[in-house]
Amino acid sequence: MAEWGFYGRRAELAEIDKILARGRFFFCAISGRRRIGKTSLIQEAIRRRGLTGKALYVQVPDSDERGVVQAFEDAIEDTGNPFAREASANFLVIATYLRAFWWFGGIAVIDEFQYFHRAALSSFQSLLQARIDEARAENPGGGVFTLGSIHTEMTALLEDRASPLFNRVTDRLEIGHWDFETLFEMFRAHGIVDPHHRLFLWSIFEGVPKFYRDCFDHGVLRQSVDHRTEALRKMFFEGSSPLKDEADNWFLRELRGRYDTVLTLLARGGPLSHGQLKEEYDRTGPTQESQLAGYLKVLIEKYGMVEKLRPILSSGKQRNARYAITDNFLSAWLAAIQRNVRLARIRPIEEAVAKADRSLQTHEGYAFEKLVRQIAEECSRKGVGDFSLTQLVAGYWNKADGSDIEIDMIALDETERRIRFGFCKRSAGAHNSQALASFEDHVARFLATKTGAPYRDWKIEKALYAPIFSSTQREALGRGGMVCVDMTDFERWLTF
C-alpha cells in the first residue's frame, strides 16, 4: 500500500522559500478555505529549509483572551522553549514574546487568524502591530505567517485602513484547491485509475488535500469493486467516520437564520435562477424578497459558499444569472449525504448508504460539467491539450430557467477563430442519438441568435465529454463529426 506523500504545490513552495531565504523580517498572510492544506504547506516549506526547530505553530481557538493566551502558552512549551506561565498572562505578554522570538530567527505560524477580528480578541491587533513595527525597524531574521479561512475577515484585519495591521503585510498567498495535474499524481500513487472512481471522489472532495488524507487514513483511498459504498460508509456513516460532522463544524456553524435553507435548495436543485430559488424558498415559510437577497449577498461576498453564474458572452445587465454552491463537499453533503446520515439513525446503514449513493449520481452530473470547465482552463493555461482559450470557459443559456437554449460549455479561441461547443455526460453511453440531436439543435439555435451570429463563419467544433470513451464509441461518434474528450485525454495532456 502506498504511503501518503506531499503532492503538488510547487509554485506555492517556491514563493514561501523565497520569503524564508531573504533573511529579513516578514509578515506573510495566507488565505484559503478550511482543510485546503495551508498548515501542511507551511510545515513542508519549513522542513525543506531545515527550520523546523525554529517554528512555533499556534491554532487560535474560538474563545476569549484567556483561551487564546493558553493556546500560545501550550504551543511555546511544545517547541521546547522556556516560558514562564503567569496567572495574569495576557495579549501583551504574548506579543512581547513574539518580538523576542523573531529576533532569534523564530518563525511564528498563527492559524485561524481571522478570529482576531472579533471584538473580544481585537486588542491583540494593536499589540501585534507595535511589535511588527519594531521588528521591521530592527529587521531580525524571523517572521510570522498568518493563516485564515474567512476571506472577508482577513481582509478587514489586514487591508482596512482603520485596522491597526493595515499596510503591515509584506507578502500574500492565496491557497486554492489542488490542480488536476496534482490530483492525477495522487490518484496514480494510490492505484486509482478508473475515471468513474476519480469523478466520484472529486465530486465530493474536489481538490481539498485533507479530505483525501482522511480517506487514506481510513483505508478507502484505493481501487476496489465497492469503492463508492465503502468510501461513503467509512467516511460519513460509521461512529468513527471523520467527516460526518465536517459540514456542521466548518461550514455551517457560523451561519444563523435560514442560510442553511438557501444552501440546501441550491444543492438539491442544482444551479438555480433567482426566480426558481425564490419560488422554492417561499415554500419553506413566509419571506420577503429583500431577505433572500440579503442571505445570497452574505453567502457570496462573506463566506464564498455561493457563486453567481452568468452565461458566456452575456453582459452584466442581463437578468439570466444562476446561483450555485461553490464547494463540492458542501453541495454533496446537503444534496445527498446529510439526510441519509440522519436516516441511518433509524434505518439500516446499508439502506441509507445506498440512498445517498443514488442521490450522488445526480450531483455528479453537475460536478462533471464543473470538472470539464476547470480542467480545460488548466490545460490551456499550461499550454497543453487540444484547445487554446482566449477567455474562460462557461456554459450558455438565454433564459435563466433553461427552458430555451442550453449548452453545457462554450470555449473560444479568438486567435484561430475557433469556437467549441461542449456537451457533458457522466456516462459515455448517454451520448445517444436523441441526446446528440438535441445538442446539435441547441447549437444551431445559438448560432441563429444575435449573440451567436458573429461566430457563424468561425471554425465550429462540437465536443462530447465523458469520464471515459471506448475506442468503438470514439469511432462511431467521430463519424458524426463529434470530438470526444475524456479524463484519460486530460491526464495524458497534463502529465506526459
pLDDT at res. 250: 73
Helix (H) / strand (E) element for 485: namely strand 482-486
In the chain, DSSP finds a helix count (H) and a strand count (E) of 20, 13
Residue 347, domain member (yes or no): no
Residue 196 CB-half CA count within 13 A: 13
Residue 287 pLDDT: 61
Give the pLDDT confidence score for residue 84 in this predicted structure: 58
Residue 432 CB burial class (10 angstroms; 0-12, 13-18, ≥19): exposed
Asked if residues 223 and 351 have their Cβ atoms less than 8 Å apart, the reply is: no
Main-chain dihedrals φ then ψ at residue 168, nearest 5 degrees: -100, -20
353 pLDDT exceeds 90? Answer: yes
Residue range(s) defining the domain that contains residue 98: 10-174
Beta pairing, strands 322-325 & 272-273 = antiparallel
Q: Which three cell numbers stand for residue 262?
A: 438557501
Instruction: Note whether residue 295 is domain-resident.
Output: no
198 in a domain, yes or no? no
Q: Compute CA distances 424 → 257, 421, 427, 439, 496, whole Å.
A: 36, 10, 9, 10, 24
Specify if 88 maps to a domain: yes
- 239 confidence band (pLDDT: 50, 70, 90): confident
Q: pLDDT digit string (tens) for 69-128? A: 999 999 998 887 666 566 568 999 999 999 999 988 999 999 999 999 999 999 999 999
Residue 286 has pLDDT above 80, yes or no: no
Q: Confirm whether 59 is domain-assigned.
A: yes
Residue 1 scores a pLDDT above 70: no
C-alpha to C-alpha distance for 71 and 52, rounded to whole angstroms:
19
Dist CA 172 CA 149 (whole Å) = 14
Q: Is residue 226 part of a domain?
A: no
* CB 419, CB 425: distance < 8 Å: no
Distances in Å between the alpha carbon of 283 and those of 42, 293, 463, 476? Answer: 47, 16, 39, 47
Q: 210: helix, coil or strand?
A: helix
Q: How confident is the model at residue 345 (pLDDT cuts 50, 70, 90)?
A: very high
pLDDT digits (tens, 9 = 90+) for 370-409: 999 999 999 999 999 999 999 989 999 988 777 799 999 9
At residue 477, φ and ψ (nearest 5 deg) are: -70, -30
Cell 467549441, residue located:
420
Average per-residue pLDDT for the chain: 92
Question: Is residue 243 assigned to a domain?
Answer: no
- Using CA atoms, how far residue 243 sits from 98, 266, 331, in Å, is 35, 21, 14
CB 420 within 8 A of CB 379: no
Cell of 192: 486509482
| pTM score | 0.91
Copy the grid coordinates of residue 291.
Answer: 431577505
* C-alpha dist (Å) from residue 139 to 170, 183, 231: 12, 40, 50
Structural domain includes residue 438: yes
Res 289: pLDDT:
62
The reported pLDDT for the residue numbered 138 is 86
Q: Which of 174, 190, 222 is the last residue of a domain?
A: 174
The whole-number average pLDDT for the span 309-335 is 89
pLDDT band of 211, cuts 50, 70, 90: very high
- CATH of residue 170: 3.40.50.300
Point out the domain boundary residue: 122, 141, 174: 174
Which of 128, 150, 174 is the last residue in one of the domains?
174
Cα distances from 131 to residues 27, 127, 318, in angstroms, run 11, 7, 50
Ranking 5-14, 132-141, 203-212 by mean pLDDT, the lowest is 132-141
pLDDT tens for each residue of 425-483 = 999 999 999 999 999 999 999 999 999 999 999 999 999 999 999 999 999 999 999 99
How many domains, the chain?
Answer: 2
